[in-house]
Amino acid sequence: MRIGVISLFPEMVSTIAEYGVVGRAQRRELIALLVENPRDFTDDAHRTVDDRPYGGGPGMVMKYAPLAAAVQAAREKLPQGCPLIYLSPQGKVFDQAIARRLAELPGMVLLAGRYEGIDERFIESQVDEELSLGDFVLSGGEIAAMAVIDAVVRLLPGVLGDDESAAQDSFMEGLLDYPHYTRPEKVGDNEVPKVLLSGDHARIERWRRKQALGRSFLRRPELIEKLELDDEQQALLDEFLKEQRLKEHRQ
Active site positions, annotated: 89, 116, 154, 169
Q: Which of 14, 26, 132, 170 binds ligand 4GO (CB under 6 A)?
A: 132
Element of type H or E holding 26 = helix 20-27
Q: Binding ligand 4GO by CB under 6 A: which of 88, 211, 216, 233?
A: 88
Among residues 86 and 207, whose Cβ is nearest to ligand 4GO? Answer: 86
Residue 140: alpha-carbon gap to chain centroid:
16
Which DSSP helix (H) or strand (E) runs through 32? strand 32-36
89: contact with ligand 4GO by CB under 6 A: yes
Minimum distance from residue 160 beta carbon to ligand 4GO (Å) = 24
CB of residue 123 to ligand 4GO, shortest distance in Å: 10
Q: What is the rounded distance in angstroms from the CA atom of residue 76 to the CA atom of residue 58?
A: 35
Q: Does 202 bind ligand 4GO (CB under 6 A)?
A: no
The minimum distance between CB 94 and ligand 4GO, in angstroms, equals: 7
**How many other CB atoms are there within 10 angstroms of residue 170's CB atom?**
14
Q: Which span sits near ligand 4GO by CB under 6 A: 49-57, 113-121, 215-223, 224-232?
A: 113-121
Torsion over CA of 192, 193, 198 and 204, rounded to 10 degrees?
A: -120
Task: Say which DSSP state 90 is in.
Answer: E
Residues in Cβ contact with 63 at an 8 Å cutoff, skipping those fewer than 6 apart? 48, 49, 50, 51, 119
| Beta carbons of 157 and 114 less than 8 angstroms apart | no
Among 44, 56, 136, 231, binds ligand 4GO (CB under 6 A): 136
CA dihedral (136, 142, 143, 144) positive or negative? positive
The number of angstroms, rounded, from the C-alpha of 79 to the middle of its chain's C-alpha atoms is 23
Binding part of the chain for ligand 4GO, among 52-60, 134-142, 161-169, 180-188 by CB under 6 A, reads: 134-142
The size of the interface with ligand 4GO (CB under 6 A), counted in residues, is: 15
Spatial distance between the Cα atoms of 179 and 134, rounded to a whole number of angstroms? 24
- The residue from 38, 66, 117, 214 that contacts ligand 4GO (CB under 6 A) is 117
Q: How far is the CB of 113 from ligand 4GO (least distance, A)?
A: 3
How many CB atoms are closer than 10 A to CB 90?
11
Binds ligand 4GO by CB under 6 A, chosen from 75, 114, 208, 209? 114
The residue within the footprint of ligand 4GO, chosen from 45, 137, 167, 202 (CB under 6 A), is 137
- Using CB under 6 A as the criterion, which residues of the chain lie in contact with ligand 4GO when the complex forms? 87-89, 113-114, 117, 132-134, 136-138, 140-141, 144
